[in-house]
Amino acid sequence: MCGIIAITTSSKTNVSKMITDSLKKLEYRGYDSVGVATINNGKIEILKDIGMIDKVNKRLSLENLRGTIGIGHTRWATHGAINQENAHPHSDCKGNIIVVHNGIIENYLDLKKTLKEKGHFFSSETDSEVIAHLMEEELKQDNPNSSKINAFKRVINKIEGTYAITLIHSKDPETIFLARKDSPLVIGVREDTKFAASDIPAFLEYTKQVIVLKNGEIATLTPQAVYIEKNGFRVQPKPVIISWTAESAQKSGYPHFMLKEIHEQPIALKNTLNIDPRVIEKASNKILEAERIIFLACGTSYHAGLSGYHQFQRILKKRPLYKVIASEYETYSHLIDEDTLIIAVSQSGETLDVMKGLGAARKTRASIISVANVIDSSIPRLSQIALYTKAGPEIGVAATKTHTAQVALLARLALQIEHDVGLLNTTEFNENLGTLVTEAPQITRTIINQNEFKAKELAAKISNQNHAYFLARGYNLPIALEGALKLKEISYIHAEAFPAGESKHGPIAIVEPDFPVVIISPNDWTAKKMLSSTEEMRARGAYIISVTEEGHNIIERSDYPFILPTSLSLLRPITHILPLQMLAYYAAVKRGFDPDKPKNLAKTVTVE
C-alpha cells in the first residue's frame, strides 16, 4: 500500500517528470493523495495534494519541479485523514529533510511525544512524519559535515513497525537514503541514474537492472553508486535483469489495465505452464514428505489456493489439508510444526498478512513453498521452494491474469503429485500434461472472445442492482467466491458467494424478483443439485445467470447462460471464472467507476 519513487541523476534532466510518470505506474498501490519533492539549488521544493495524480498534476504542475534528485509518493491512508497536510512527502521543522514512507510506524505516538517535548513542530497526523523529525534530531548530535548515513541508521534503530522509507536532505543533494522492513523497496540501476521504488514497473521504462532491497537493509543511492549494508556489514548488491517490458506495464490501447490483463490470460497461462519440470518435481517431493499441508493466502490468491486445496484433496485423500486466510493464521498455529508444509500463494509476494503467517511458521521450522508473480519478492524469499507465475506485471487492482496463472500452476503441481503417488502412469501423465499446457491458453482465448460481448450486455442489464448471489458446490465454490469478489470490489454491487445448499438456511430470505443469482454449474456431479438450487431461486423470481457447459439442463432454466465448452476438470477454475471477470469489469464501467482503481483498495496490502 502506498507507492514510493525516488530518483537521483547526474544527467542534466529535472527528475520531477520521471517521478510523476513513475507515480502513475504506482497509482494502483493507493490514490488518496499524491506528492513530489525535489532539491533545487540546495533548497527543497514540495508539491502535494489530495486526489489522483493526473488531477493533482494538472492543478499543481508536479512535473515542473526543478532538480536532479527527488522523491514522490501516492498514498493509501492509514494514519490520519485524507487531506493535504497528511499527504506525503513530509518534512522536518526546518524543511531540510524530506521523507516518504510506506508501512506503519507502530511506536510513532511515543516518538512524537518525545520529539514534541524537544520542541519539534508537527504538521500532519501521520506516523511517517516522525521519521523526518527523528533524522533532524539525530543530526544535531553529528558534525554538520559528517556523513548523514550514521544518523539515518540511528533513526531506523528507533522506529518499530513496517517500512519502506526514502529520505533526502537538502545539504546532501545527490544522495537518497533507503531502509526497508516488511514493505517492498526495489532499486533500479542505470549508469548515470539510480531509482528506488515500491515496485519494478515504476522505473521499467528507464532500466531493467533491478536490486531487491531485503528486510533490514539500509542503502544509499547516488547517481553513480548503490551502497547497501545490513547490521553494520556491507552487502554486495546483486542486480537481476527483469524480462518484463516497459510496454507490459502500459495499457497498449485498452481503456483499462484490467481489460488488457483479462485478454493477456492466454499468454500468461502459456508462460506459466512452461515452468521448469525439475522445480515442479522438487515441490511435489516436498509435498509428499509433509505430514500436513496448509494453503495460506488472502483475497483472490486465497481463492486460487482453495482450487489447489480441492485438487490436492482428490489426490492425497486422507493427508490432512487445511486452507487458511492468512490474517487468521494465529487460529491455526497449533497445527504448525516442522512436519507441516505451508503453500503460500501471493501475486505481489509482499502481502503482510501472509508474511506474518510465514514468519511464525519459520520459527517452528515448518517448510514453505510459495506461488508468486513478482520475482525475488519477500514471500518467495521466505520459502524453500519458490514457484513463479509468469503473468507479467499486473497493474489493475483486481487480480485477473495472475489468478488464473496461480490456478494453472497449482493444477500443474497437482498433476505431478498424481503421477508421483502412482495414480497416473507416465503415459497418462504426459497426455494430461500435454492437454493442460496446450488447452489452457487456447480454450481461454476462445472463451474470452466468445463471451466478452455477452458479459457487456449482461453488465448493462444488472448494473442497477444492489446485490447479487454466486452459488456453487464442492470444488466449484472457489469460482463463485472469486466471481463475487471481482464484482463487489470494482462495481460496488454487494455480492456474496456461498455453497448452494446453504441458501435455504438464510440467504434466500432477501431474494426477490430480478435479484441476480449466478449459478456455477459445469457438467459434473454437482449438476443435479445445482439445478434444484436454481429452481428454488427461480421460484422467488431471481434472475438466473449461469456459467455452465454445452448440453446442461440448466441452460433452459437460466435467464442468461454463459455456455462454455466442457473442459478438463483441472481447467474449470480457469475457464469458468473468465465470464465473471468480464462481467465485473463491464459492470464497473457501466456504473461509471474506474475498475483499475477501486475505492479504499490497493494492489499490494502491506499493512495488517
Closest contact distance (angstroms) between CB of 364 and ligand M6R is 22
Output 91 or 300, the one with its CB closest to ligand M6R: 300
Give me the least distance between CB of 467 and ligand M6R, in Å please: 20
Q: Which is nearer to ligand M6R, 36 or 296 (CB)?
A: 296
Q: Which range of residues in 31-39, 151-159, 173-181, 294-302 is near ligand M6R by CB under 6 A?
A: 294-302
Q: Which residues are catalytic?
A: 2, 603
> Which of 35, 67, 70, 299 is close enough to bind ligand M6R by CB under 6 A?
299
- Which CB atom, from 271 or from 402, has the smaller least distance to ligand M6R? 402
Minimum distance, C-beta of residue 249 to ligand M6R, in the bound complex (Å)? 16
Write out the three cell numbers for 310. 480441492
CA max distance for the chain: 82
Q: How far is CA 558 from CA 448, 524, 545, in A?
A: 20, 18, 6
Nearer to ligand M6R, 299 or 483 (CB): 299
Nearest distance from residue 570's CB to ligand M6R, in Å?
21
Interface pattern 424-463 for ligand M6R (x via CB under 6 A): ----------------------------------------
Instruction: By CB under 6 A, name the one of 65, 77, 315, 397 that touches ligand M6R.
Output: 397
Of 65 and 368, which CB lies nearer to ligand M6R in the complex structure?
368
CA distance 574 to 535: 26
Does 398 participate in binding ligand M6R (rule CB under 6 A)?
A: yes
Query: CB-wise, 248 or 450, nearer to ligand M6R?
Result: 248
Query: In angstroms, what CA-CA distances link 438 with 194, 270, 282?
Result: 41, 8, 23
Nearer to ligand M6R, 8 or 346 (CB): 346
| DSSP conformation class of 182 | B
Minimum CB separation of residue 567 from ligand M6R in Å reads 23
Distance between CA atoms of residues 531 and 518, nearest Å:
12
Instruction: Indicate the DSSP class of residue 383.
Output: S
Lookup: cell for 593: 467507476
Binding segment for ligand M6R (CB under 6 A), chosen from 123-131, 248-256, 460-468, 599-607, is: 599-607
Angle at 473 between CA 469 and CA 478, to 5 degrees: 70
Cβ distance 499 to 476 under 8 Å?
no
Judged by CB under 6 A, does residue 348 bind ligand M6R?
yes
Nearer to ligand M6R among residue 491 and residue 526 (C-beta): 491
Rounded to a whole number of angstroms, the minimum distance from the CB of residue 338 to ligand M6R is 25
Based on the shown chain and the rule CB under 6 A, indicate whether residue 298 belongs to the binding site for ligand M6R. yes
Q: Which conformational region is residue 39 in: left (phi greater than 0), alpha (psi within -120 to 50 degrees), or beta?
A: beta
CB closer to ligand M6R out of 196 and 399: 399
Q: Which stretch binds ligand M6R (CB under 6 A): 222-230, 343-351, 420-428, 513-521?
A: 343-351
Shortest distance, CB of residue 324 to ligand M6R, whole angstroms? 13
30 vs 299, which CB is nearer to ligand M6R? 299
* CA–CA gap between residue 341 and residue 436 (Å, rounded): 26
Sheet holding 90-91, edge to edge: 90-91, 97-105, 161-169, 176-181, 217-221, 226-230, 233-235
Closest CB 349 distance from ligand M6R, rounded Å = 7
> Is residue 346 at the binding interface for ligand M6R, with CB under 6 A as the rule?
yes
CB of 601 to ligand M6R, least distance (A): 6
Helix pair angle (401-420, 299-316), 10° resolution: 20
Orientation angle between helical segments 477-491 and 578-590, nearest 10 degrees? 20
Q: Report how far apart the first and last C-alpha atoms of the chain are (Å, whole number).
A: 11
Rg (CA), the chain: 25
Please report, as residue ranges, which positions from 180 to 219 form the binding site for ligand M6R (by CB under 6 A): none
For ligand M6R, how many residues bind (rule: CB under 6 A)? 16
- Using CB under 6 A as the binding rule, whether residue 347 contacts ligand M6R is answered as yes
Q: Which stretch binds ligand M6R (CB under 6 A): 78-86, 176-184, 331-339, 346-354?
A: 346-354
- CA distance linking residue 262 with residue 396, whole number of Å: 10
Q: Which of residues 349-388 bind ligand M6R (CB under 6 A)?
A: 351, 354
Residue numbers 548-567 binding ligand M6R by CB under 6 A: none
E strands along 113-155, which residues?
none
Q: Which residues contact 212 (CB under 8 A, 6 or more apart)?
A: 186, 187, 240, 376, 377
Q: How far is the CB of 350 from ligand M6R (least distance, A)?
A: 7
| Binding test (CB under 6 A) with ligand M6R, winner from 151, 605, 606, 607 | 605
399 sits near ligand M6R (criterion: CB under 6 A): yes
Residue nearest to ligand M6R (CB): 299
At closest approach, how far in Å is the CB of 359 from ligand M6R? 15
Rounded to the nearest 5 degrees, what angle is found at the Cα of 334, between the Cα atoms of 330 and 338?
110
Closest CA to 343 of 309, 299, 389: 309
d(CA 608, CA 354): 9
Which residues in 18-36 are b (16+ Cβ under 10 Å) and which e? bbbbbbbbbbbbbbbbbbb
- Phi-psi bin for 128: left (phi > 0), alpha (psi -120 to 50), beta? alpha
- Per CB under 6 A, the list member of 300, 340, 389, 526 interacting with ligand M6R is 300
One character per residue 20-39, x = contact with ligand M6R (rule: CB under 6 A): --------------------
Q: Are strands 292-297 and 321-325 parallel, antiparallel or unpaired?
A: parallel
Binding ligand M6R by CB under 6 A: which of 172, 174, 489, 549?
489
Interhelix angle 426-462/265-273, rounded to 10 degrees, is: 160
CA 451 from centroid of its chain's CA atoms: 27
Nearer to ligand M6R, 20 or 370 (CB): 370
Using CB under 6 A as the criterion, which residues of the chain lie in contact with ligand M6R when the complex forms?
298-301, 346-348, 351, 354, 397-399, 489, 601, 604-605
